[in-house]
């Protein structure tokens, strides 16, 4: 685990020492602010629309944050060093996940000003804000795991980012496609899409099936990541 933490600390530091890392955090916070303004034009102290858009933005952020995790290392030739060192693939993957998760936490913390502002102006229901942020963490980690897996499979950061977005859009699209179906195919596609699993977070409820879904996505992303690294080794 020590090796994983070392990798995480290195990535975390590297991220915030670059203009890209700072820019993505500042950009995410600013985007959250713009979305808040649009949502508050409904003259209601409700943040469901804000969190809903934040979940979509998290997909983009996860793709941006993970694109360099493996692909950039391979491009620079440092991945080979990492894979031939005595560190096991799962330790590398865990380290990378923790590194990006740390960045994600900072990014999410930067949006806390939004609900605080709303609370200072109106009386929002605290429950949906709490579950909304639980959702942000779960959705963010799951999307990061998907992004890491895609990043590990390519040497081009751009391809990694586009690939991650494609996977996430395909999952999101399953929810849209399900609308035209009936019976169990509809149910299966609905359950496959993240869109159906974030609705509860927006309303102030936490259900086991939603939590299990995002933990599953996280686990599947990590396993895929380990398998890809094992193959490349």
Partner 1 sequence: MRGLAAMMVAIGVVVAANVAAYGHDTQVDVSVAHRFTLSPETRALVRAVHAPLRIRAFLASHGGAADDARFLLSRYTELNSRIRFSVVDPDAHPGEARRFGITRYASVVLTYRGRRVDAPDAEELEISTAILRLLRGHVRSVCVLTGHGEPALDDTAPDGLSAVADLLRHNAYEPRDLDLSTSSIVPKDCAAVIVAGPTDPLLPAEVQALDAYTKADGRLMVLATPTSRADPNPLIASWGVRFTGGLVIDPARSENLDTANVIVERFPSASPVDAGVSRLQLPAGGGLFVAVPPDRPGLSVARLALASGRSFVETRPDTEIDFDGLDIPGPVLVAAAADDSRVAAGETGVPGRSGARIERTRVVVAGDVAFVTNRFLDHLSNARFLLNGINWLTEEEQLLATTSRPSADRPLPFTPERQTRVLAVTVGAVPGAIVGIGLVPALVRRLRRRRR
Partner 2 sequence: MTRIARGLAATALVATALGGCHHAPRTTADRPVAIVTGAEAVGASIVVSAAGRSGPVPAGDMRTALAPLLAARVLDQPEGPTSYGLDHPQARLEYTTASNRPVVVLVGAPDFDRHFLYVGREGDRRVFLVPAAVLRRVLALVGVTVAAPS
Binding site for partner 1 (CB under 8 A): 16-17, 21-23, 25-27, 29-30, 32-34, 36-37, 40-46, 48-49, 110, 113-114, 117-118, 121-128, 130-131, 191, 199-200, 202-209, 211-213, 216, 219-220, 223-224, 226-228, 230-231
Residue 66: CB partners within 8 Å, gap ≥ 6?
Answer: 100, 144, 147, 148, 150, 151, 160, 161, 164
Of these partners, partner 1, partner 2, none, which one is at the site of residue 175 (CB under 5 to 8 Å by kind)? partner 2
| Nearest distance in Å: CB 4, partner 2 | 28
Say whether residue 64 binds partner 2 (CB under 8 A): yes
List the x/- string, 142-181, binding to partner 2 by CB under 8 A. ---------------xx--xx--x--xx--x--xx-----
Q: What's the rounded Cα separation, in Å, for the pair 225 and 89? A: 9
Residues 67-96 interacting with partner 2 (rule: CB under 8 A): 67
| Nearest distance in Å: CB 169, partner 2 | 6
Residues 34/35/37/42 CA torsion (nearest 10 deg):
160
56 vs 119 by CB, closer to partner 2: 56
Residues 51/57/59/64 CA torsion (nearest 10 deg):
-140
Say whether residue 117 binds partner 2 (CB under 8 A): no
Q: Is residue 83 within 8 Å of residue 92, measured between CB atoms?
A: yes
193 vs 218 by CB, closer to partner 2: 193
Say whether residue 187 binds partner 2 (CB under 8 A): no
Of these partners, partner 1, partner 2, none, which one is at the site of residue 62 (CB under 5 to 8 Å by kind)? none
Say whether residue 116 binds partner 2 (CB under 8 A): no
Q: What's the rounded Cα separation, in Å, for the pair 201 and 192? A: 17
137-157: b or e for each residue (b if 16 or more CB lie within 10 Å)? ebbbbbbbbbbbbbbbbbeeb
* Other residues' Cβ atoms within 10 Å of the Cβ of residue 175: 17
């Amino acid at each position: 685990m020590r090796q994983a933490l070392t990798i995480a600390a290195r990535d975390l530091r590297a991220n915030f020492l670059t203009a890209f890392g700072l820019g993505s955090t500042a950009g995410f916070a600013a985007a959250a602010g713009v979305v808040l303004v649009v949502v508050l034009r409904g003259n209601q102290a409700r943040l469901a629309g804000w969190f809903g858009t934040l979940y979509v933005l998290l997909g983009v952020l996860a793709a941006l944050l993970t694109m360099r995790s493996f692909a950039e290392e391979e491009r620079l030739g440092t991945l080979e060093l990492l894979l031939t060192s005595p560190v096991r693939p799962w330790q590398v993957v865990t380290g990378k996940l923790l590194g990006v998760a740390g960045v994600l936490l900072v990014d999410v913390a930067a949006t806390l000003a939004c609900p605080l502002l709303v609370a200072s102006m109106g009386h929002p229901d605290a429950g949906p804000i709490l579950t909304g942020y639980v959702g942000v963490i779960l959705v963010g980690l799951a999307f990061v795991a998907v992004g890491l897996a895609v990043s590990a499979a390519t040497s081009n950061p751009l391809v990694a980012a586009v690939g991650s977005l494609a996977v996430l859009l395909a999952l999101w699209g399953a929810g849209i496609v399900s609308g035209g179906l009936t019976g169990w195919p509809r149910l299966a596609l609905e359950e496959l899409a993240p869109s159906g699993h974030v609705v509860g977070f927006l309303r102030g409820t936490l259900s086991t099936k939603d939590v299990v879904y995002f933990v599953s996505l996280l686990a599947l992303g990590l396993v895929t990541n380990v398998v890809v690294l094992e193959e490349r080794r």
